[in-house]
Amino acid sequence: MTRAVVLLLFGVLLCALAGCGERAQVVVFKQGVYQGKPDTPPYQNPPFNGDRAAWERTLATRAQLQNEYKRTHRNGNG
């Protein structure tokens, strides 16, 4: 019982001491350098799994679908 009380008091004391800690409350800015969270490249995750070339090929093919001159020609309509 006494041991439990001592442990409890010790815990309370630790918590109280934690409040005395002095940590910087503001971030240190480096002018002109991105300060946010890091981002992963879009080809990092499935379905490309890090294959940048495949991702670029897919986007290039998809971008060409915006060219209806090629789309109509490919479909045999002129």
Partner 1 sequence: MARMKFLCDAERCIECNGCVTACKQEHDVPWGVNRRRVVTINDGVPGERSISVACMHCSDAPCMAVCPVDCFYHTEAGVVLHDKDRCIGCGYCFYACPFGAPQFPQIGVFGMRGKMDKCTFCSGGPEKDNSREEFTKYGRNRLAEGKLPACAEMCSTKALLAGDGDIISGIYRERVTIRAARGTRSGPPWGWDSAYGAAQPAVAGGK
Which spans of this chain sit near partner 1 (rule: CB under 8 A)?
A: 29-45, 47-48, 55-56, 58-60, 62-64, 66-69
Q: How far apart are CA 32 and CA 60, in angstroms?
A: 32
Cβ 18 to partner 1 shortest distance, Å:
25
The residue among 11 and 44 lying less far from partner 1, judged by its C-beta, is 44
The residue among 10 and 74 lying less far from partner 1, judged by its C-beta, is 74
- Looking at residue 33, what DSSP letter applies? S
Cβ 28 to partner 1 shortest distance, Å:
11
Instruction: Give the count of alpha carbons within 13 A of 41, CB side only.
Output: 10
In this structure, how many other beta carbons lie within 10 angstroms of the beta carbon of residue 18?
8
Q: How far apart are CA 72 and CA 78, in angstroms?
A: 6
The residue among 9 and 72 lying less far from partner 1, judged by its C-beta, is 72
